């Protein structure tokens, strides 16, 4: 398993190189540049700006310049946030996103998994219908509706919690964004857990386990739970990478200084260095999370092995 | 005349106020408090020469005084210069600087101003508004890399006297000197080997506030500058500029009391609601900005036919948009230069006082003459950048034109794509908003003159127009200048090169506890005049 | 043991699979009701606009932003431009339902096949295929879509393609995970020993046994796709005015929820109804297709 892990980590380098190369050129094909704003710039001034950021060089030269800097750990200065380097922006924002996202994931697992299991075991009862109905509602209402409603109700009308702001991560400031971020995840996880639990409980080896005379609780805990977690685990790998890198909607509505906004705004502003920074960061997380998921597979089902 | 003698008494009064200690504490009873401001987007920089948006200059103006500042009402008042003089030929301005210190105790000298202006036009600085300073001798050559920064026509005659030489008299120049990019900069800091000089702890300020902390995407905190020349007049302990862009977030946090001021918090969709529920906090005022549709005049599109353009202009019912669709007090515009600008023009589309029915009839006639009718509908593409209000307006205007047999294809483009398309002339009709950076019609008129951005986008070229704009720029007599500018603008309007829609308003939320804050036509609000009543928030 | 477990898990051959599944599905009342309702809603979206008194782009200059009313013919109110909300929601349904159908179908087919093949073959092939998935995850979605637009021009099928092109990734990861586990089970080994071809093992044994999570994920993909479409429209890459979609209507309505709640509620109810129907239908379908409960 260790050699497999090391091999996968080594493979991350060519994978990332491909990602960086495709993303770099993909981004530059897009129409519009970093200095295209409401206020059109006179040609002399635009020329000065292009030169200041080396955008007047041939594209391949810019690409190798970027790679060269990247090797030295330099992601370059952000085009938009001129006083900060991309590394600084990501390193200042990521702990915030990680905190909100991590809590949201934990909350989603803590609520979503039990709900899914209960709904599966009480299949087609009132309990099942209530849980799944609520979950569906959670999925149907997008977070750009949920978040402002939460801020309005608890922040403005009731005044129980701050309507927004980060306040260095004080607990009251965390509650609403974490809830808003987790609602959809709770629903997803509950729905998926219910489905795979039903699948597993109907399978042949569970019937065998029952035939051995185990109690229902023992069947669930010892035999059903782990295989039933497989699909949720598959889903969670990329999902966690997405959630801990922040959500632009949640960040904007609650004023959270995370990095989620950089993914959308960096792209909208054509902030090339920032876009590349987020791509590299997110790509590395994806590779890592999917590796972890693959390792968890073998823990959940010892029969799963990877040929080295 | 531009000579600022009128300001002398005011400057003197200011001087007296600062010297007569004890009597000058403003708004007696006001508590020292930290003002919480919802400021819009995250500032991209705090270097006053690299800022590009009002959410940035709103902060840098509190950190860096200019030689000429904006007063509480937006009019020009003495800043670091206590007086200035314009030579009779209008080509030399001499500023007399007051005794003042940087926040680190170094004196603020004319050399700091020379340094800043040289840096402003240096190509590597890549300042967005450097072209406004091209009237200074050699500025353009320096900015295009053809001359050394030291050759700029700016000299420190002594430690507190600055001379600026212009190649031609320039009417708007003093307005440009009030902009944040023209602020003197701490030369001793920028010429040292300090990196990232705009960071808290490093940045040295000349304004009423100094930088205390900056958390990206969260807030910029400034606190009172004890070394400010008018520190005694500053009531606020500090200001937190929160980076909040989302309008519903701004409004929520204002309503929950977390913000004292929320800039740009009210979109048209919530305006009526805000009027009813936040009445006393809602501050609406005109903004010097023009919302209009740019027309591509190049050969090969139906819009190169003047009759078509006039027909579209005639059939556009501006009052429906301002009153029914937006309802925030925007002025329907039949002109390009907003009427609220300093030294306004009086040009106007000639049909502005006709009723809609006869305008529509005339529009039909024109389209008919141009060869469009039921069997040959006029097909045009109207593009706008993504925003709910732009969409609403475009949809309504397309519906206004439809009865004339005009078929509009609406194209919503992401901002970067939209504005790149404009730059490359890749559009037929395009939504555009032009908000003044400098409080002078030159800012607007120059856009359609040769080399201007709108001329480049639309293909508009009229040597007579260029000559009128040029002449008006160098004319220092107020009435003659207004006549020249009006004539120039009238040429644009008579050729129907654009479809003016409305003059902007700016809507901010300001708590009734905030005193000394006024709506201004440039949306500038010097916080040295602001205080907070009652309990600290 | 091995032959015993093979029998109940292999899906039956030929069209008896379809007929059998349909028979089981038609006995599930909730699923059938959902199917009818979905059909009805689709019909309403595609035929309804001809029956309402207003057109898609018709502006009622006397009724900007009015709530639901029987007078004036705006049964579900109008939007900020004075356009009939019912008419627009029905038109929006045409876009959203077809985006959802096509994009989900594309993601289902690609994702399930890709994942099953990757997991079943395993080893180096699995590794390569999954690294490709990692790369696809990492590419910035927005620029991917813009590239598609540059290549194919402004086109509604582009939206389907773009959304389908990213949504299959999760599906592939999930199916591959299931396949890795399933292929170790006795019934696969038995099928192998009996000389069943690899292709058949994948389609007849592996995929049917992974069907539960797949169907649930499909029902989760639909709302995701419908709302993602509104993000594309925000970028100017989705539907263009005057055409609209549920996603666009909901995000417009979210802006106005305090003052004109009907603008949010109307499209949201249509979307929620679709989801509930799909959910019951999905559950019914799962039971009907489940090889184990036969």
CB contact under 8 A, A227 and C180: no
Lowest mean pLDDT among A4-18, B14-28, C205-219, C249-263: B14-28
End-to-end CA distance of chain C: give it in Å, rounded: 18
- How far is B493 from B314, CA to CA, in rounded Å? 12
Which partners does chain B have (≥3 C-beta pairs < 8 Å)?
A, C
Task: Answer with the residue of higher pLDDT: C157 or B320.
Answer: B320
- Does position C241 have pLDDT exceeding 90, yes or no? no
H or E stretch covering B3? none
Mutation target to probe the B interface, by most B beta carbons within 10 A, among C58, C81, C238 is: C81
Mean pLDDT, residues A181-186? 93
Mean pLDDT, residues B280-296? 94
pLDDT in tens, A155-169: 999 999 999 989 888
- C293 confidence band (pLDDT: 50, 70, 90): low
- How far is B241 from B42, CA to CA, in rounded Å? 9
* pLDDT at position A210: 85
H or E stretch covering B461? none
- How far is A287 from C65, CA to CA, in rounded Å? 49
The rounded mean pLDDT for chain B is 89
CB contact under 8 A, C257 and A148: yes
C33 in contact with A, Cβ within 8 Å: no
Task: Answer with the residue of higher pLDDT: B321 or C72.
Answer: B321
- How far is A160 from A149, CA to CA, in rounded Å? 14
CB contact under 8 A, B416 and A38: no
| CA B409 remoteness from chain centre | 32
Mean pLDDT, residues C11-20? 60
- How far is A240 from A289, CA to CA, in rounded Å? 8
Interface ipTM: 0.90
Angle made by CA atoms B301, B302, B304, in degrees to the nearest 5 = 75
Q: Which of B31, B7, B33 is nearest to B95 (CA)?
A: B7
Fold of A1-308: MetI-like fold (1.10.3720)
Are residues B291 and B433 in contact, defined by beta-carbon separation less than 8 angstroms?
yes
* pLDDT at position C17: 62
- Does position A281 have pLDDT exceeding 90, yes or no? yes
The number of CA neighbours under 13 Å toward the Cβ of B225 is: 26
- C190 confidence band (pLDDT: 50, 70, 90): confident
Task: Answer with the residue of higher pLDDT: B163 or C194.
Answer: B163
* pLDDT at position B32: 62
Are residues B283 and B508 in contact, defined by beta-carbon separation less than 8 angstroms?
yes
Cis peptide before B464 (omega within 30 of 0): no
- How far is B367 from B361, CA to CA, in rounded Å? 10
- Does position B19 have pLDDT exceeding 50, yes or no? no
In this structure, chain B runs to a length of 537
- How far is C223 from C34, CA to CA, in rounded Å? 16
* pLDDT at position B1: 34
- B395 confidence band (pLDDT: 50, 70, 90): very high
- Does position B104 have pLDDT exceeding 60, yes or no? yes
CB contact under 8 A, A39 and B255: no
- Does position B11 have pLDDT exceeding 80, yes or no? no
* pLDDT at position A206: 85
Strand partners, B129: none
Are residues A223 and A206 in contact, defined by beta-carbon separation less than 8 angstroms?
yes
A31: distance to nearest CA of chain C, Å? 8
Cβ-Cβ contacts under 8 Å between A and B: the total is: 157
CB contact under 8 A, C140 and A188: no
Are residues A32 and A284 in contact, defined by beta-carbon separation less than 8 angstroms?
no
- How far is B306 from B297, CA to CA, in rounded Å? 9
- How far is B48 from A244, CA to CA, in rounded Å? 34
- Does position C294 have pLDDT exceeding 90, yes or no? no
Q: Write out chain A residues lying below 8 Å of C216, CB-based.
A: 191-192, 194-195
Tell me which residues of chain A, numbers 137 to 166, contact chain C at a CB-CB cutoff of 8 Å: 137, 139-142, 144-145, 148-149, 152
Are residues B238 and B207 in contact, defined by beta-carbon separation less than 8 angstroms?
no
* pLDDT at position B233: 92
Lowest mean pLDDT among A143-152, B94-103, B172-181, C150-159: C150-159
* pLDDT at position B205: 96
Region of B61 (left: φ > 0; alpha: ψ -120 to 50; beta: rest) is: alpha
SS3 C63: coil
Q: Write out chain B residues lying below 8 Å of C242, CB-based.
A: 395, 398, 410
Angle made by CA atoms A215, A219, A220, in degrees to the nearest 5 = 120
Burial of A215 (0-12, 13-18, 19+ CB in 10 A): exposed
* pLDDT at position C48: 84
B399 to chain C: nearest residue by CA?
A: C59
- How far is C224 from C58, CA to CA, in rounded Å? 30
Q: Which residue has the tokens 């800097």?
A: A69
C189: distance to nearest CA of chain A, Å? 13
Q: Write out chain B residues lying below 8 Å of C154, CB-based.
A: 411
When CB atoms are compared, the residue of C123, C138, C219 closest to A282 is C138
The rounded mean pLDDT for chain A is 90
pLDDT in tens, B200-241: 999 999 999 999 999 999 999 999 999 999 999 999 999 999
- For residue C92, what are the CA distances in angstroms to A228, C48, C230? 38, 12, 11
Q: Write out chain B residues lying below 8 Å of C81, CB-based.
A: 325, 392, 395-396, 399
Tell me which residues of chain A, numbers 201 to 220, contact chain C at a CB-CB cutoff of 8 Å: 202-204
When CB atoms are compared, the residue of B269, B398, B413 closest to C80 is B269
Q: Which residue has the tokens 């955008």?
A: A55
- B468 confidence band (pLDDT: 50, 70, 90): very high
CB contact under 8 A, B216 and A93: yes
- How far is B316 from B502, CA to CA, in rounded Å? 11
* pLDDT at position B347: 93
- C5 confidence band (pLDDT: 50, 70, 90): very low
3-state helix, strand, coil in chain B (%, to 5): 35, 20, 40
Mean pLDDT, residues C113-133? 92
B286: distance to nearest CA of chain A, Å? 19
End-to-end CA distance of chain B: give it in Å, rounded: 45
C119: distance to nearest CA of chain B, Å? 40
Task: Write out the two tokens for C248.
Answer: 């666009």
CB contact under 8 A, C212 and A198: yes
* pLDDT at position C9: 47
Q: Kindly report the pTM of this predicted structure.
A: 0.88
Please give the sequence-ordered ranges of beta strands (E in DSSP) within chain C, or none if there are none: none
| CA B145 remoteness from chain centre | 27
- Does position A243 have pLDDT exceeding 90, yes or no? yes
φ/ψ of residue B514, rounded to 5: -80, 120
CB contact under 8 A, B325 and C233: no
C256 to chain B: nearest residue by CA?
A: B269
When CB atoms are compared, the residue of B131, B258, B417 closest to A32 is B417
| CA C164 remoteness from chain centre | 9
- How far is C134 from A15, CA to CA, in rounded Å? 8
- C16 confidence band (pLDDT: 50, 70, 90): low
Are residues B312 and B454 in contact, defined by beta-carbon separation less than 8 angstroms?
no
Mutation target to probe the A interface, by most A beta carbons within 10 A, among C96, C168, C173, C275 is: C173
Burial of B459 (0-12, 13-18, 19+ CB in 10 A): middle
State the maximum Cα–Cα separation within chain A, in Å, rounded to a whole number: 84
SS3 C290: coil
H or E stretch covering B155? strand B154-158
Q: Which of C123, C131, C140, C144 is nearest to C173 (CA)?
A: C131
DSSP letter (8 states) at residue A84: S
pLDDT in tens, B498-519: 999 999 999 999 999 999 999 9
SS3 B499: strand
- How far is B356 from C79, CA to CA, in rounded Å? 24
* pLDDT at position A62: 92
- Does position B379 have pLDDT exceeding 80, yes or no? yes
Mean pLDDT, residues B515-532? 93
* pLDDT at position B375: 83
| CA B218 remoteness from chain centre | 25
Estimate the crossing angle of helix C85-121 against helix C246-255, to 10 degrees: 120
Residues in contact with C181: Cβ distance below 8 Å, sequence separation at least 6, in sequence order: A227, A230, A297, A301, A303, A304
SS3 B532: strand
* pLDDT at position B14: 37
Domain ranges of chain A: 1-308
pLDDT in tens, B366-376: 999 999 987 88
Residues in contact with A215: Cβ distance below 8 Å, sequence separation at least 6, in sequence order: none
State the sign of the Cα–Cα–Cα–Cα dihedral A103, A106, A110, A116: positive
Are residues C52 and C72 in contact, defined by beta-carbon separation less than 8 angstroms?
no
Are β-strands B154-158 and B81-86 bridged in parallel, bridged antiparallel, or unpaired?
Answer: unpaired
Residues in contact with C68: Cβ distance below 8 Å, sequence separation at least 6, in sequence order: C74, C75, C76, C77, C262
H or E stretch covering A159? none
Other CB atoms within 10 A of residue A225 CB: 16
Mean pLDDT, residues B173-197? 93
Q: Write out chain B residues lying below 8 Å of C256, CB-based.
A: 269-270
CB contact under 8 A, C57 and B272: no
When CB atoms are compared, the residue of C139, C215, C220 closest to A188 is C220
C74 in contact with A, Cβ within 8 Å: no
Are residues C82 and C61 in contact, defined by beta-carbon separation less than 8 angstroms?
yes
pLDDT in tens, A68-118: 999 998 998 888 888 899 999 999 999 999 999 999 999 999 999 999 999
SS3 B502: strand
Q: Which of A251, C232, A85 is nearest to B41 (CA)?
A: A251
Are residues A105 and A244 in contact, defined by beta-carbon separation less than 8 angstroms?
yes
Task: Write out the two tokens for B172.
Answer: 């708007």
Residues in contact with C102: Cβ distance below 8 Å, sequence separation at least 6, in sequence order: C160, C164
When CB atoms are compared, the residue of A88, A152, A166 closest to B252 is A152
Strand partners, B198: none
* pLDDT at position B470: 92
CB contact under 8 A, C177 and A234: yes
Task: Answer with the residue of higher pLDDT: C289 or B304.
Answer: B304
* pLDDT at position B502: 96
Q: Which residue has the tokens 């502006």?
A: C59
* pLDDT at position C292: 65
Mean pLDDT, residues C20-46? 89
H or E stretch covering B175? helix B173-177
């Amino acid at each position: 398993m260790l050699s497999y892990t090391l091999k996968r980590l080594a493979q991350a380098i060519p994978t990332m190189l491909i990602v960086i190369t495709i993303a770099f050129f993909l981004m530059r094909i897009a129409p519009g540049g970093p200095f295209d704003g409401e206020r059109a710039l006179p040609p002399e001034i635009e020329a000065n700006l292009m030169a200041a950021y080396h955008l007047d060089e041939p594209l391949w030269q810019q690409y190798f310049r970027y790679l060269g800097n990247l090797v030295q750990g330099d992601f370059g200065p952000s085009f938009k946030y001129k006083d900060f380097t991309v590394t600084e922006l990501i390193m200042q924002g990521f702990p915030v996103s990680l905190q909100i996202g991590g809590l949201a994931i934990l909350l989603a697992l803590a609520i979503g998994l039990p709900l899914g299991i209960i709904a599966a075991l009480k299949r087609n009862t009132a309990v099942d219908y209530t849980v799944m109905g609520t979950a569906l509602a959670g999925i149907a209402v997008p977070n750009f509706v949920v978040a402002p409603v939460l801020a309005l109700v608890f922040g403005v009308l009731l005044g129980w919690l701050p309507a927004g702001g980060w306040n260095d991560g004080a607990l009251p400031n965390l509650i609403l964004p974490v809830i808003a971020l987790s609602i959809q995840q709770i629903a997803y996880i509950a729905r998926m857990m219910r489905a795979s639990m039903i699948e597993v409980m109907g399978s042949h080896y569970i019937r065998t386990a029952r035939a051995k005379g185990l109690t229902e609780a023992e069947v669930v805990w010892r035999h059903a739970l782990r295989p039933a977690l497989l699909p949720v685990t598959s889903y969670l790998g990329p999902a966690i990478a997405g959630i801990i890198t922040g959500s632009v909607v949640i960040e904007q509505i609650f004023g959270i200084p995370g990095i989620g906004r950089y993914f959308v705004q960096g792209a909208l502003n054509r902030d090339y260095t920032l876009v590349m920074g987020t791509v590299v960061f997110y790509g590395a997380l994806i590779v890592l999370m999917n590796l972890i998921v693959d390792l968890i597979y073998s823990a959940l089902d010892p029969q799963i092995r990877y040929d080295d | 005349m531009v000579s600022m003698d009128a300001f002398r008494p005011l400057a003197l009064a200011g001087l007296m106020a600062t010297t007569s200690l004890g009597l000058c504490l403003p708004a007696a009873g006001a508590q020292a408090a930290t003002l919480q401001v919802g400021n819009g987007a995250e500032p991209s920089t705090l270097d006053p020469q690299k800022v590009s948006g009002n959410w940035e200059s709103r902060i840098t103006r509190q950190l860096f005084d200019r030689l000429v500042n904006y007063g509480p009402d937006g009019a020009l008042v003495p800043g670091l210069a206590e007086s200035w003089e314009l030579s009779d030929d209008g080509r030399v301005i001499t500023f007399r600087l007051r005794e003042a210190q940087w926040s680190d105790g170094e004196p603020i000298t004319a050399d700091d101003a020379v340094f800043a202006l040289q840096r402003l036009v240096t190509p590597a600085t890549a300042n967005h508004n450097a072209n406004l300073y091209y009237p200074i001798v050699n500025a353009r050559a320096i900015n295009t890399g053809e001359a050394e920064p030291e050759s700029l026509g700016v000299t420190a005659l002594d430690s507190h006297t600055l001379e600026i030489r212009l190649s031609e008299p320039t009417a708007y120049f003093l307005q440009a000197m009030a902009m944040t990019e023209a602020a003197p900069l701490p030369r001793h800091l920028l010429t040292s080997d300090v990196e990232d000089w705009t960071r808290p702890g490093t940045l040295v300020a000349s304004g009423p506030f100094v930088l205390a902390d900056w958390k990206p995407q969260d807030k910029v905190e400034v606190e009172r500058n004890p070394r400010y020349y008018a520190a005694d007049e500053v009531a606020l302990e500090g200001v937190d500029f929160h980076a909040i862009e989302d309008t519903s977030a701004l409004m929520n946090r204002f309503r929950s009391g977390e913000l004292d001021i929320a800039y740009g918090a009210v979109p048209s969709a919530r305006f009526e609601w805000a009027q009813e529920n936040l009445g006393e906090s809602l501050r609406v005022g005109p903004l010097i900005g023009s919302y209009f549709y740019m027309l591509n005049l190049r050969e090969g599109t139906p819009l190169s036919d003047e009759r078509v353009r006039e027909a579209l202009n005639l059939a556009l019912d501006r009052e429906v948009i301002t009153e029914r669709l937006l309802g925030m007090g925007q002025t329907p515009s039949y002109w390009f230069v907003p009427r609220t600008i300093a030294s306004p023009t009086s040009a106007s589309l000639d049909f502005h006082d006709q009723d809609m029915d006869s305008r529509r009839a005339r529009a039909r006639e024109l389209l008919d003459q141009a060869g469009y009718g039921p069997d040959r509908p006029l097909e045009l593409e109207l593009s706008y950048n993504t925003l709910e209000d732009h969409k609403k307006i475009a949809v309504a205007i397309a519906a206004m034109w439809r009865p004339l047999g005009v078929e509009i294809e609406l194209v919503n483009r992401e901002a970067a794509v939209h504005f790149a398309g404009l730059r490359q002339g890749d559009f037929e009709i395009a939504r555009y908003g032009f908000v003044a950076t400098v409080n002078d019609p030159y800012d607007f008129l120059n856009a359609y003159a040769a080399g201007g951005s709108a001329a480049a986008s639309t293909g508009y070229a009229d040597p007579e127009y260029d000559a009128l704009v040029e002449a008006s720029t160098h004319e220092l007599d107020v009435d003659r200048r207004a006549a020249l500018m009006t004539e120039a603008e009238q040429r644009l309007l008579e050729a129907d090169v654009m479809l003016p829609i409305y003059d902007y308003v700016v809507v901010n939320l300001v708590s009734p506890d905030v005193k000394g804050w006024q709506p201004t036509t440039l949306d500038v609000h010097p916080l040295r005049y602001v205080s907070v009543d009652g309990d600290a928030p | 043991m091995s032959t015993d477990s093979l029998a109940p898990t292999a899906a039956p051959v030929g069209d008896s699979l379809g007929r059998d599944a349909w028979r089981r599905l038609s006995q599930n009342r909730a699923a059938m009701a959902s199917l009818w309702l979905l059909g009805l809603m689709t019909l309403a979206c595609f035929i309804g606009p001809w029956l309402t008194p207003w057109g898609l782009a018709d502006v009622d200059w006397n009724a900007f932003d009015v709530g639901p009313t029987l007078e004036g013919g705006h049964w579900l109110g109008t939007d900020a431009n004075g356009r009939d909300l019912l008419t627009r929601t029905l038109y929006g349904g045409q876009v959203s339902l077809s985006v959802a159908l096509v994009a989900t179908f594309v993601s289902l087919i690609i994702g399930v096949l890709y994942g099953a093949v990757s997991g079943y073959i395993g080893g180096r092939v699995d590794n390569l295929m999954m690294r490709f998935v990692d790369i696809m995850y990492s590419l910035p979605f927005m620029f991917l879509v813009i590239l598609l637009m540059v290549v194919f021009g402004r086109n509604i099928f582009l939206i389907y393609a773009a959304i389908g092109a990213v949504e299959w990734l999760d599906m592939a990861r999930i199916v591959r995970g299931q396949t890795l586990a399933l292929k170790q089970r006795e019934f696969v080994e038995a099928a192998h020993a009996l000389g069943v071809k690899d292709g058949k093992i994948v389609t007849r044994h592996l995929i049917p046994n992974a069907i539960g999570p797949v169907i649930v994920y499909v029902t989760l993909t639909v709302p995701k796709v419908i709302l993602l479409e509104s993000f594309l429209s925000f970028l100017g890459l989705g539907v263009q005015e005057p055409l609209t979609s549920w996603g666009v209507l909901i995000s417009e309505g979210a802006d106005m929820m305090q003052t004109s709640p009907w603008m949010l509620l109307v499209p949201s109810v249509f979307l929620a109804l679709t989801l509930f129907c799909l959910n019951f239908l999905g559950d019914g379908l799962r039971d009907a297709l489940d090889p184990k409960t036969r």
